[in-house]
Amino acid sequence: MTRRLFGTDGVRGQANKFPMTAELALRLGAAAGRYFRPVGGGAHRVVIGKDTRLSCYMLENALTAGLTSTGMSVFLLGPVPTPAVGFLTRSMRADLGVMISASHNPHQDNGIKFFGPDGFKLSDAAEAEIEALLDAEIQLAQAVNIGRAKRIEDGRGRYQEYVKTSFPAGLRLDGLKVVIDCANGAAYRAAPEVLWELGAEVISVGVSPNGTNINQMCGSTYTQTAAEAVVAHQAHVGIALDGDADRVMILDEWGEVADGDQIMALLAARWADEGRLRGSTLVATVMSNLGLERFLQGRGLRLERTAVGDRYVVEAMRRGGWNLGGEQSGHIVMTDYATTGDGLLAALQFLAEMVRTGAPASQLVRQFAKVPQLLKNVRFAEGARPLDAPAVQAVIEANRDRLAGQGRLLIRKSGTEPLIRVMAECEDEALLGQVVDEIVEAVRAAV
């Protein structure tokens, strides 16, 4: 069974254009409600969280209508991080969790992603079955069994208290000056409050959402804002989250950025020393730098690579029984604490290491030397298939041969945007540039 609507992270698109319309959201809610509604009696409940995009109001109402029409009672959390939805789905014994967000994308985009009753994102197979229900006549609940909807005022607070329990007992953030950039997104209240309650002096940026400024010149994909604040306030460290706070970038006291690979290296080494790293294995995607793999090998640890997407990282972790994984883009997954990537939780682990060691952030964020890596994107029109063009395939294969034994080449279509991503790694930076540019030009010609 194939999926048409679902990508690597739920259904996503531009608001008020298919598939991100109120009509489709209503039908999708009804299909998901029909799929998750338990057979025979009992509570039928779903929690819905959202980020701060203007279109979230529209989609939230449409999803609620669809879900209640099939007998699901809806609990509306308001703006909360994506990992809060995973946590609260399980904590509140819900049958289903829904997050309305397009993560790091601009405000005009939006998305819908589902969590199962265990708090984990749905599998490809489950998403395909929900899609199949969209094409059928959905069985609606009898009038007496239509679900109710109500707002939950303490959902964010429950999540904040849980996140604080992940911080090592006996440690505090007293004396640390921390810049937190919330990308005008879902964590604009939760993240600063948690840091302050743990003792930090907090400088907040990106905490004034207006519906259209999410991820706009702020957050994990635009770290200049956080870097400027770190330098201006002489902060010890900076934390940059994305719009739904499931990914993070760490900035040292000089405003220099560390990506997810460096954070994972730090945590993997620490957990291995403590005997906490299950299977001596870190799970990451094919995008993670070769330097990370060499770093782990030098410590007798193993890197398990997956397809791009934090859901595939989590699936591999669950299959292998491993407890640490993530993506270079800043998704850090720690299944001892959470069911999905959690930027705030990962940031707290980094801050705990600063407190424990007394080392400056600049020392902790440089765990290994990166192999030179170059990534370029080529945008294409919806429906186009530039990677199928024989001329493009020929250029890719020729350059793959040029890199043989010297580096890596990865060409893929983005799962969330109409982009072809061309990435290569090679110690020879001149060759690296030539390889990427040749492939990019071939793809552009095909587009």
Active site residues: 103
- Tokens 């069974």 sit at which residue? 1
H or E segment and range at residue 179: strand 177-181
Q: If phi over 0 gives left and psi between -120 and 50 gives alpha, with beta otherwise, what is residue 340?
A: beta
| Residue 101: C-alpha distances to residues 78, 166, 286, 303, 416 (Å) | 12, 25, 25, 30, 12
| Residue 174: C-alpha distances to residues 180, 350, 351 (Å) | 16, 15, 11
CA-wise closest residue to 92 among 51, 60, 124, 49: 49
**Read out DSSP for 11-60?**
EEEETTSTTSSHHHHHHHHHHHHHHHSPSSSS--EEEEEE-S-THHHHHH
| Mutual angle of helices 190-197 and 343-357, in 10-degree steps | 20
User: Would you report the helix, strand and coil content of the chain in percent, each value rounded to 5?
Assistant: 40, 20, 40
81 neighbors 70 (Cβ within 8 angstroms): no
Q: In this structure, which amino acid lies at residue 15?
A: A
Residue 199 CB-half CA count within 13 A: 12
- With b for 16 or more beta-carbon neighbours within 10 A and e for fewer, the 375-384 pattern comes to ebebebeeee
Straight-line distance from the first to the last Cα atom of the chain, in angstroms, rounded to the nearest whole number? 29
Residues 245 and 83: their CA atoms lie apart, in Å, by: 8
426 has which bridge partners? 407
